[in-house]
Structures are given as C-alpha cells and as structure tokens.
Chains A and B, each alone.
Chain A
Amino acid sequence: MSSGSNKPAEGIAGRESSRAVGPRTWRSLGARLALWYVLVTLGSFLVAAAVFAVRVQESMQREGQRSAESALERYRLALENGGTAALESMFDCSPGPQPGLALRLTDERDVELFGVSSDETSRRIVAVPNERSEAAGLPVEWHVARAEVSQRRRLSLAVRDEPAGRLWRVLRETSWIIFGLGLGLAVLGAAVITRRTLRPVTDLARATRRIVESGDLGLRVETRASTDELVQLTQLFNRMLARNESLVKAMRESLDYVAHDLRTPLTRLRAGAELALREAADVEKERNALAAVIEESDRLLGMLTTLTDIVEAEAGAMRLDRHAEDLGAIVHEAVEVYEFVAKEAGVSVVTHIDGDAKVFADRRRISQVCANLIDNAIKYSPAGGRVELSVRCEGSSAVLRISDTGIGIASEDQPRVWDRLFRADRSRGEPGLGLGLSLVKAVVVAHGGEVKLESEIGAGSTFEVRLPRLR
C-alpha cells in the first residue's frame, strides 16, 4: 500500500497504541478501509478483463478456424484431384506472408503418409493427434483443421493467424498497463477517500488526546458545516465537551463557595468552642457555648444541603418526584407556614390564587421555592410593608409572582441575584440568602421553567416563577 493511505491509520491508532505490539496498522480502520477499496476495485477490473478476454478469444478462434477450414478444403480438392504432388506444389506456392503452415496426411492408423511444413512449430502442432489436447494447449493464433479424404485417409492442416496473434498480444499488454494504472489509481483513491472520510474521526481522536494530555476543558474539535454523520458526531462531541466544561466550572465555583463562605461560620464555631474551654469554670457559659456550636453547625449543614441541591439541580442530576400538582395549593401552604413570621415582622401577606394552575412538579421542591421566595420577601420588607402573591395561568404557563415593598434591588445587581456567590449587601450578613435564590432558579429551571426579577430601588421587587402548565 502507498504511504498515503497509511497516514490516517497512523493518525488514529498509530501513536495511541504505540505500546501495543504487532502489525497494528492493519487493525486500524483507515488501513482496512483502504485495503477493501483497493481489493474491490482490482477485483472488478479483473472480472471485466476476464469477460472481455474470453469474448475476444472466442471470436478470434471462430474467425481463424473458419479460414483454416476453407484453406483445408482447397488442399483437400487438390489432393483428391492431383494426389500428394498437387498438394505439395500448392503448398509451395501458397503465398503466406510468414511461415506458419503445415499439412499432414495420415492413414486410419495415424501413420504419416505425407507431410509438409513451413517450420518446426507448425509441424509439431499439426502432428498432435487428439483434438481435445489441441484445444487445451494451442496458442490463440494457431488453428488446426482436419478433413476425411478418400482411401480412409485424413488430411490435417495447421495454420498460424499472425495478425490475430499480434492483436492478441497488444490486447494483453494493454490489459497489463490498464491493470497497473488501475492499481495505482485504486491505491491513491483509497488513500484520499479514507483520509477524507475519517478526517472527523482523526480530528476527534487528536482533540480528545490533547484534552486528556493537557486537561484543558476549553479545547474543541475542529468541525466543518456538513450533515455528514461523522461531522455530526464531532459536533455532538463538542456540545458534550461544552456541557462538561460548564458542569466542571459549576463544581469549581461551588467549591470556591464552600471554601469562601463556610470558612466564616466554621471559624465562629471554633472560636465559640475555644472560648468555652478557656472559661470552663462557668457551667452556664459552657452550656451556652455548646448550644451555639450546635446552632452554628446546623446552619452549616443547612448551607451544605442547599449547595448540594443547587449543584445537583444545575447539573440536571436532581431527581424530581413529579406529579400533577396545584401550584395555588402549594403557594397557599407556604403562605400558611409564614403566617406568624409575617405577623411578627408586621408585614401583611396578600394572595390571589387563580384556581387552575396545574403543574407537573416535585411538590417538596416547589414548596421550597415558594418558601424561599416568601421568606425573602418578608425579610426585606420593612414593618408595615406588604407582600403580594399571585398565581395565574398565562397561556401555557403557570405563573407565580411575589412582590414586596422592600428596599428593591439596583438594576445593575438584578441579573446577579441568582448567582450563587452574590449577595447585594454583604454587610447585612444574612447567611444563605444568595443560596436561597440560586436554589429557586436551579429548581425552577430543572422543572423546565424560568425565573424573572423586576425591581426598583425604594419601590420593591417582584420575583416571577414561570412553570410549564399542565392541561
């Protein structure tokens, strides 16, 4: 095989399996494809050539035989009329352009009575007794004819058809040239085709190797615009890479978050315990410190749980126990939970629930979404404020809106409130607040819905949750 057709093979498996022993080239897809291509091309050429040769040979044989038989007929007439002398004189003056003619007269026991030939080959050919063996061993330009003559004798003639022989040789040589050219073209074609066909695969393999070696998740496979299956494969592969990259990025961010935001409560926890140890004399203080440690660790635990939930939901790994649920009922329940909290905070809560907002949802998760939003709204409303909840059906969506009369969120901060690390006013020190909203978004998106925020500084905020409505 040419080196050209070997290249893609090397590209795919060559370097990769350099540790493997044995003729791995033949096991590679590219090499096998090329080999098959060459074999099929040559095979079809050989079949075509064989059919052609058989047909040409048959036709040449027929023509030559006919002329040999007509010549024999002339000699037979000469023999019958003038005996072997006439035969010999006729043979001598026969103007064959080249030597290649023999006559032989035999009796019934195949004993030669008379023989004349222009050369050794023709003499030998005419002397071969059996017709079948003649057919087997006879070169294509030779023809043998036989005829019965008087006195149970037999006249045989062997003649060489020189032009036909030349033509046959030319044909044969031409065939070999075509065969050689065809072989070259087939190998070249195989090389080009396998290379072109397998290019997406080799690109894929190369990119994968680069990613594996460098650990750079931002790398992508080169793709061309095409509907070709292999190109589609690389495009899909790229999409998968992009997804993986975003997942890993989310994981890293979560880890950052843990490192960043859990450190503070952990430090507080440690400080509290240490203080209690130092002032161990006072049992009451010790008890208080221990209680604070438990409270702090509970808070940490809550944050961790929320964080795992968010990461799971964002990664599409959150398992949702979904049933047909009434969004209004879920909201109503959540409002009930916060009834006393709102009273305590001096915030009035008003709900307008449209009766028909059915959603296909995990009740517990959507309850959590509502609870977080209500909690948020109450927390950020001043005493005397008002929180309004509405559940409505809008086209194919069930929409929950929660408005408060709180401090509002600056427009430049609005897109970032759903971010995990974001907290608009850090000095406020409401732990887990940023987490609450990112959990809301993650859960809603995991349900195929979307979240929205409208807010104005001083006038309050409206959070909107839009879920696909079940009909």
Chain B
Amino acid sequence: MHVVLIEDDEKIGAFVSQGLQQEAHVVSWAKSGDEGLALARQPGVDLAIVDVMLPGRDGLAIVRALREAKVTVPVIILSARATVEDRVRGLDAGADDYLTKPFSFAELLARVAALRRRASGHSESPVRLQVADLTLDLVSRRVRRHDRTIELQAKEFLLLEYLMRNQGRVLSKTMILQHVWDYHFDPQTNVVDVLVSRLRSKIDREFPQKLIHTLRGVGYVLRIE
C-alpha cells in the first residue's frame, strides 16, 4: 500500500514512516503542507496520514483541497487537539478518521487496516472465524477450542470476536473500550485488563498454546507464536 505521510515533526514522522515500512507499506513523507498536497494528489496513493499543524498549508486545508479536487483517497488526521469539536471539524473537512496525539502505533495500524478494508469494499463477514484450534461461530455464537465448547458472556464474546478479526494486530485499551462498551473516553481503570484476563482464563489457561498476548504499555494481540 502506498501511504503519503504529511508531518513536519521529525521524530513523529520517522516513527510513523518506519513503522509503516516495517508493515510492508510504501511511505512518501512530506514535511510541508504544499509538498504533501502535491504528493497526495498523485494517482496510486492508497492512504494519506495528515498532521493538522503544518507549516504552509494546515492539515484541514489539505483535506479540503483534496476533496474539492474530487480526490477520494482515505485520510487519517493526526492532531494534538483532543476535543470532540476538533474531531468533528476534522471529519467535516472530509477526513475519514481522526487520531489524537500521542497515539500508540498499534492503534494507527489498526485504523489504517480498517480504512483499507472500507476502501477495498469488502467488509469481510465470514460466518466462522478461526485461529489455530480456536473457532468462533458468528451465527450460533458458539466458541470452541480444540474439541471443547467454551461458554462466553456477551462482552467476552465481543472482545474475542474483535481480537480474532484483527488477528496478529495489536489492539489498544482505548480501542477495546470503544469497541466492546462504546466508551469514547478512558475511565482510568483496569476494566479492559479484567475483561482480557477473564477471556484468557477461558480460552488459554488449559491449553499449552497461548493465543492472547499482552504487549505491556501497548495493548493486546491474538496470534499464533
């Protein structure tokens, strides 16, 4: 995937661009608004990640200019401003997603993946999810590991489904809070850790192969190691 990154801060830019390159994306990094706009308008660009505060043209102006020129490339806005109004202003300008600084790279990756799924049109809705010997049936809402049926409560099921759909991708606490409880703020407690540890005790405890992993300070991931 060809990603245009428009970010004037050296550290953040290097952090994002290196991370995306490690995920096998092609990154073009522009450090000013005008340069970035020119890059983002080129054909073949799959995604633009745009900082709001930029020298020259600011991020919102770039998004507006792109949309006026009928360029439909998906855009993620990065901003240090966290209020709802700022978010709304960004989305109103035509951005597809909005990420507040400081952010975890895992979260950025997850959002990039979500946008790619949306852009490619197929929001894959399989009937059954499978990772190793763990299966989750979305229709009968039954979870099995190896040959054993596992009883999950609604929230546990939601979390497992979310982890399995994002297999191999790290999900931050914020993302889990949003997905499982629709809470768009951090209640500053361990609700996510508690839910994950409950799920883990049901999915992993009695099996030698562990699937749910904690990346301290970043989030959780379900993958085969």
Contacts and interface: CB of A to CB of B under 8 A. Distances in A.
A197 B210 CA distance: 85
Given A295-B216, A305-B82, A368-B185, 19 more contacts: A288-B216, A292-B216, A301-B102, A302-B186, A305-B186, A319-B85, A337-B181, A339-B155, A340-B194, A340-B195, A341-B189, A341-B190, A341-B191, A344-B194, A367-B183, A367-B185, A371-B183, A371-B187, A372-B188
B217 A291 contact: yes
Interface of B: 82-85, 102, 104, 155, 181, 183-191, 194-195, 198, 215-218
A291 B218 CA distance: 8
A294 B217 contact: yes
Interface residues of A, number: 32
B201 to A, nearest CB: 11
A167 to B, nearest CB: 85
Contacts of A319: 83-85
A81 B191 CA distance: 140
A389 to B, nearest CB: 15
Contact of A340 (B82, B155, B216): B155
Nearest to A296: B217
Interface in A283-297: 287-288, 290-295, 297
Contact of B187 (A291, A340, A375): A375
12 contacts: A292-B217, A294-B104, A305-B82, A336-B155, A336-B181, A338-B191, A340-B155, A340-B194, A340-B198, A341-B190, A364-B185, A371-B189
Contacts of B84: 319, 321, 364
Contacts of B82: 305
A432 interface: yes
A333 B181 contact: yes
A354 interface: no
Most buried by A among B155, B189, B190, B191: B189
Contacts of B188: 302, 306, 372, 375, 432, 436
Contacts of B155: 336, 339-340
Nearest to A342: B194
A122 to B, nearest CB: 98
Name the prevailing secondary structure of the B interface residues: loop
Contacts of B85: 319
Contacts of A295: 216-217
Interface in A271-285: none
Most buried by A among B102, B155, B183: B183
Nearest to A334: B187
A413 interface: no
Nearest to B197: A344
A446 to B, nearest CB: 14
A297 B217 CA distance: 9
A298 interface: yes
Contacts of A293: 217
B184 A337 contact: no
The list of the 6 closest CB pairs from A to B, nearest first, reads A294-B217, A291-B216, A291-B217, A371-B187, A340-B194, A295-B217
A371 B190 CA distance: 12
A292 B218 CA distance: 10
Nearest to B85: A319
A297 B102 CA distance: 10
Contacts of A321: 84
A341 B194 contact: yes
Contacts of B191: 337-338, 340-341
A365 B122 CA distance: 35
A292 B83 CA distance: 27
A302 B189 CA distance: 11
A295 B184 CA distance: 19
A371 to B, nearest CB: 4
Given A305-B82, A340-B195, A340-B198, A364 B187 contact: no
